[in-house]
Amino acid sequence: MKFRNFFELQYGQIWTAVAIFILLILWAQVPYAQDRSSMIKIGDMAPPLALEGILQAPVDVGALNENLKGKIVVLEFWATWCGPCRKAIPHLNEMVEEFKNKPVQFISVTDEEEWKVKNFLKVTPITGWIGLDRDKSMFKTYGVQLIPQTVIIDQKGRIAAITSPNLLNSQLLEKLLEGITLTPTTYDVKPVGVEKDVKDEVQIEQAMLELSIRPAKPSISMRSSGRAFKARGMTLHKLVSIAFKVSPVRLVASTQPADDTYEVIVNIPNNDRSALLSLLQQSLKTAFGLKTYRETREMEVFILNTSKDKKTLLRSSEHKNEMPIMLDEGQISSQGTSILNFCALLELALEKVVLDETNLKGLYNLALYWDPNNPESVISAVQDQLGLELKTKIKSIEVMVFETEPPPAKK
């Protein structure tokens, strides 16, 4: 496939995915829409646990609510796509281990499909029970508006605390086991559904046309819309990749680029992504003496194919049009995407060109999880979770090469 067509189909869409990836890292908590009138309060009797299924529970668990009588129950509302939820898992696992011989039951409640959760657990184990709430009934009855959110039920079946997993500690649970009623002084309750008061903020009108590039410290920050682009702490390589809609692994610098990072701001009067990108490209050319050209190079690539020894585990999507596809640290997920666009995100994860030779058509529901500290674990995850295989091969690949002029000497 020609270079231009490949990225008009793929990289133009994953530009948004990269922005989503960055936002997920920056979010401290993830909003979950809910009516405030349905919120439970401290001291209320806990609503019954109405779960469609439970993973990792004993086979003789029987009637769930009867089984949990007289126990402290720690409900953790979470999702595999929620970065802060995933970061809390090691701490929660430690708590489960510490209280395994005491009348305390940890249940992580998610509204996601069972197959997604099981794939996730292969890479990131959760040692407590996993509650499946596909109809979101528990999210509604417990008034969950932000995830992660932790709800603690005492031994009398009353709501003892509504907080976040990072504030859950041994002392808090020990007090409940001793029959001590918690007060706001014994734990820090996280408010839910409270929006920031902006009445005193000074409103600054956005410039009709704005363009600036300046050095900045390295960071992960990017916002983009049809009329505005702002990135802070990005290398020139990343900026060129975004501006020209080229996968970073198909973008080559003619000389070793500096590791300098920059802040770039582009604002235009109208919602016109094409004009925005054109202005971003021109600004990079002017600021850095940037020149680009295309050439073919021999390189090692990954070939994605169906496995001869394993049945494909892909799930067809009911959507007729492609849905947004999300790349986050250690996962790729979508409710309807083509294998071609899936390969585009695999390139970002593996930092190597990925070519599709599966001949699989249509759209698929995807949820791929791997160890973010070991990028090569993507290869085994693709085989284990999707029934596909990735193998290396030397191929001729068309790449974009860029070069810059040295900055003028300082006087």
3-state SS string for 104-135: EEEEEEECCCHHHHHHHHHHCCCCCEEEECCC
Residue partners of 1: CB distance under 8 A and separation at least 6: none
Residue 12 has pLDDT above 60, yes or no: no
Sequence-separated (6 or more) residues with CB below 8 Å from residue 187: 161, 163, 167, 172
161: closest CA among 151, 170, 148, 169?
151
Q: What is the pLDDT of residues 80-110, one digit of tens each?
A: 999 899 999 999 999 999 999 999 999 999 9
Q: How far apart are CA 279 and CA 266, in angstroms?
A: 8
The residue with tokens 């000497």 is 409
Mean pLDDT of 203-229: 82
**150 touches 88 (CB < 8 A):** no
| pLDDT band at residue 25 under the 50/70/90 scheme | very low
Please give the DSSP secondary-structure letter assigned to residue 163.
Answer: E
Between CA 38 and CA 390 the distance in angstroms is 48
Confidence band for 38, pLDDT divided at 50, 70 and 90: low
Distance CA 230, CA 260 (A): 17
pTM score of the predicted model: 0.76
**Sorting pLDDT into bands at 50, 70 and 90, what band is 328?**
confident
Q: What is the DSSP string of 233-298?
A: EEEHHHHHHHHTT--GGGEEESS-----EEEEEEE-SS--HHHHHHHHHHHHHHHH--EEEEEEEE
pLDDT at 186: 52
- Cα Dmax for the chain: 80
Segment 290-319, tens digit of pLDDT: 999 999 999 999 999 998 877 889 999 999
Of 1 and 404, more confident: 404
Tokens of 276: 């925005």
pLDDT given at position 407:
64
Q: Is 65 exposed, middle or buried (0-12, 13-18, 19+ CB in 10 A)?
A: middle
Nearest to 234 by CA among 212, 213, 261: 261
Residue 10: band (very low, low, confident or very high) from pLDDT cuts 50, 70, 90: very low
DSSP annotation of 315:
E
pLDDT digits (tens, 9 = 90+) for 131-158: 999 999 999 999 998 899 999 999 999 9
- Nearest of 311, 341, 301, 310 to residue 325 by alpha carbon: 341
Is 80 exceeded by the pLDDT of residue 327? yes
C-alpha 312: how far from chain center: 25
- What is the crossing angle of helices 236-243 and 273-288, to 10°? 140
Q: Residue 215 pLDDT more than 60?
A: yes
In sequence order, the β-bridge partners of residue 222 are 231
Say if residue 148 is preceded by a cis peptide, omega within 30 of 0: yes
Could you report the per-residue pLDDT of 258-295, keeping only the tens digit for each? Answer: 789 999 999 999 899 899 999 999 999 999 999 999 99
The Cα–Cα gap between 203 and 329 comes to 34
Would you state the pLDDT for residue 200?
41
Percentage of the chain modeled with pLDDT above 90? 61
Question: Topology of domain 30-177, per CATH?
Answer: Glutaredoxin (3.40.30)
Average the pLDDT over 21-40 and give the result: 46
Domain extents for the chain? Answer: 9-27+205-297, 30-177, 299-400
- Each residue of 175-184: pLDDT tens digit? 999 888 776 5
| Angle between the N-to-C axes of helices 377-386 and 114-123, in degrees from 0 to 180, rounded to the nearest 10 | 150
